[in-house]
Amino acid sequence: MNLKINKFSIKLNQLQNGKEIIHWTVNKNMTNLFNSHAWKYSKCIENKGFSFNKEEILNILSKQDIDEAFLNISKWQNYKPTPLLLLNKLSKQLNLDKIYYKDESKRFDLKSFKALGGAYAVEKVAKKKKDIIVSSATAGNHGRSVAWGAKKLGLKCKIFISEYVSEERGKVMENLGAEVIKVKGGYENSLIECIKQSSKNNWEIIQDVAWNDYLLIPKLTMAGYSVMMKEITDQINKEEITHIILQAGVGGMAAAMVAGIARYLNNIPTIIVVEPDSAACVMESIKNGKIKKINILKESLMGGLSTNEVSLVPWQILKKSINYCISLPDDDIAKTMKLLACASFSQNKIIAGENSTPGIISLIAICNDEKMKKKINIKSDSKVLLIGCEGDTDEKMYQKLLKQ
Ligand SMILES: Cc1ncc(COP(=O)(O)O)c(C=O)c1O
C-alpha cells in the first residue's frame, strides 16, 4: 500500500517478525526536494548593469584565442568530449523541459574542467620559452592541471597551496611530479608566496587569476575552459539552452563559458552565477558595479569557489553579461552529491565533487520559490544547462560526504 503523508511517500509492507516494516521508497528523496526547510539560497540579485554584447566579449577573449585552444586541446592524447547528461528525473520533478549536466568528472584522468586551462597555458608558454620551471598557487584543481601540463613536457613544477588545501589534493600533485609547498593562511597567502618565490627564482607563474600586468596567462586558461562550450554546442544539436547556471570562484570558468556562448551560440541564455554565501565576491562586485574584495570569515566546503576577489579578465566579461547572482549556504552539498551518486536525478550514477553541486542546489531553490522562478522566467519549456565541474577530485572528502 502506498501512502502520501506530509509530502513523503511511504510504503507499508508485510509483517516481519511480528513488526510492521516501513520502507521509504525512492520517492522520499524526490519529495524531499519540496521540503521548505531545505534547498534554500541565501541571496539573489539582478545585475542592473546587464547589457550582453558579443563583440565586446570577443574583444576580451577573442574568437582566435578560443578557436586555437580547441584546435590544440582536441589534438591532445586521449582527448574526447566529456558527456552532456540529462538530469531527466530532476527535470520531471521540477516540471522543466530539460536539465543538461556537463560531466567534467570524465575530463582526462584529472576529473575536472581545470585540466583544460592550466595545462594549455603551460603548453603555450613552453612553446615560446624553453627549459622553464613553472609555478602556481592553487586550491587544488588548477595546480593539478599545471602539474600535469608540466609533466607532459618534462618541466619542473612548483605548486603553492594554503593550509586549507587537503593532504589528499597535495598528494595528487606530488604524484604528478610537482614540488608542493604549503603556506600558512588562505589562498591569497599561497599566491603571494608563489609570486615572491617565482620572482626571486625566475620561475614562470601559470596562474588562473589576472592582475594589472598579468593578463595573458589567465586568458589562455580561460581559452582552454571554453572548449567545454564548443563541446556542448555540438552535443545539444541546435537545441536552444534557455538558462545557464555557472559556479564562480575567481570567475574564470564562468567568463570562459560566457565567451563560449558569444562565440558559438545563436541565442543568449539567461546567465546566472552561483557562489558560496561565504565567498560571494562576484555578487558583491555586481552589486557595486566594480570589483569588491570581500572578507571570507568561514571557508566553504566548495573550496574551489572560496575566493575573495573576482579576477580582472573575467570581471571585464562578467560585469555586463550575467543576469543574476545567487549565493548558497553549504547545507545541501552532501545531500546533492549523494542524490547524484545514486542516480536519483538521472538515469546515470554521477560522481560529483563539492564544487559540482551549486548549480543543482540553486535550480531547485529557485523552483521552490515561485516569485523568483517567475522573475528568472524558469518554466515548463526551459532548457537549463548546469556544469558538473568536477568528480571526486578529493577522494577522501568525497567518501566522507557520501557517508554523512
Ligand atoms: C572544480 C572547480 N569548479 C569551479 C571552480 C571555479 O573556477 P573559477 O575560479 O575560474 O571561477 C574551481 C576553481 O578552482 C574548481 O576547482
The 10s digit of each residue's pLDDT in 106-153 is 999 999 999 999 999 999 999 978 789 999 999 889 999 999 999 999
The reply to whether 125 falls in a domain is: yes
**CATH code of the domain containing 122:** 3.40.50.1100
What is the rounded distance in angstroms from the CA atom of residue 210 to the CA atom of residue 206? 10
Distance of CA 181 from the midpoint of ligand 1 (Å): 20
The pTM score is 0.91
The reply to whether 213 falls in a domain is: no
> What mean pLDDT do residues 201-223 have?
96
Tens of pLDDT, residue by residue over 354-397, are 999 999 999 999 999 999 999 999 999 999 999 999 999 999 99
Distance of CA 249 from the midpoint of ligand 1 (Å): 5
Position 103: which residue type?
Answer: D
Distance of CA 44 from the midpoint of ligand 1 (Å): 20
**Domain check: are 87 and 49 in the same one?**
yes
* Atom number of ligand 1 nearest to Cα 112: 1
Per-residue confidence (pLDDT) for residue 382, from 0 to 100: 98
Distance of CA 325 from the midpoint of ligand 1 (Å): 16
Distance of CA 34 from the midpoint of ligand 1 (Å): 29
Cα dist from 310 to 275, 291, 315, whole Å: 11, 7, 6
Ligand 1, from 145, 253, 337: best to mutate by most atoms within 8 Å of Cβ? 253
Ligand 1, from 141, 144, 229: best to mutate by most atoms within 8 Å of Cβ? 141
Q: What residues line ligand 1, using a CB cutoff of 6 Å? A: 112, 114, 139, 141-142, 208, 247-254, 304-305, 355, 389-390
**Domain check: are 2 and 91 in the same one?**
no
DSSP readout, 227-280? Answer: HHHHHHHHHHTTPPP-EEEEE-SSSHHHHHHHHHHHHH-SS--EEEEEEETTS-
Tens of pLDDT, residue by residue over 4-59, are 333 333 333 333 333 333 333 334 445 556 555 689 999 999 999 999 999 999 99
**Domain check: are 255 and 170 in the same one?**
no
Per-residue confidence (pLDDT) for residue 34, from 0 to 100: 56
The reply to whether 287 falls in a domain is: yes
**Domain check: are 236 and 356 in the same one?**
yes
Range of the domain at 59: 43-112+221-402
Domain count, the chain: 3
Domain-ending residue, one of 207, 242, 275:
207
Please say if the pLDDT value at position 267 is more than 60. Answer: yes
Contacts of 166 (CB under 8 A, 6+ apart): 140, 394, 396, 397
**Domain check: are 139 and 196 in the same one?**
yes
The reply to whether 37 falls in a domain is: no
